[in-house]
Amino acid sequence: GSDEFVLVITVIFVAVIVGGLLGWALVAGLLLFVPWLRTKPRGFIPHMAWRWGLVRWSNYPGPTQTRFYE
């Protein structure tokens, strides 16, 4: 999906800028991460960002909220 495409382009872009052994390590990590990511449901990356508190969605509870009142 588009999440995977953005991830691949971003990692390759950073790997080219950084270069050297670290750049190759980023590409190797990407080659291991993408097959694992394909075993997860759609929207896995945005939901993990929400779970870690990196993003907020309007009308959506916080990642640590356990009780919901409608």
Distance between first and last Cα of the chain: 33
pLDDT at 20: 93
Rounded CA separation 46/36 (Å):
16
Name the maximum alpha-carbon separation found in the chain: 53
pLDDT at 32: 94
Instruction: Give pLDDT tens digits for 15-59.
Output: 999 999 999 999 999 999 989 988 988 888 888 888 888 888 887
Rounded CA separation 45/23 (Å):
22
Amino acid identity at 31: L
For residue 43, give both structure tokens.
């929207």
Provide the 3-class DSSP secondary structure of residue 57. coil
pLDDT at 60: 79
The answer to whether the predicted template modeling score (pTM) of the entire model surpasses 0.75 is no
For residue 66, give both structure tokens.
């356990």
pLDDT at 17: 96
Q: Structural domain boundaries of the chain?
A: 2-51
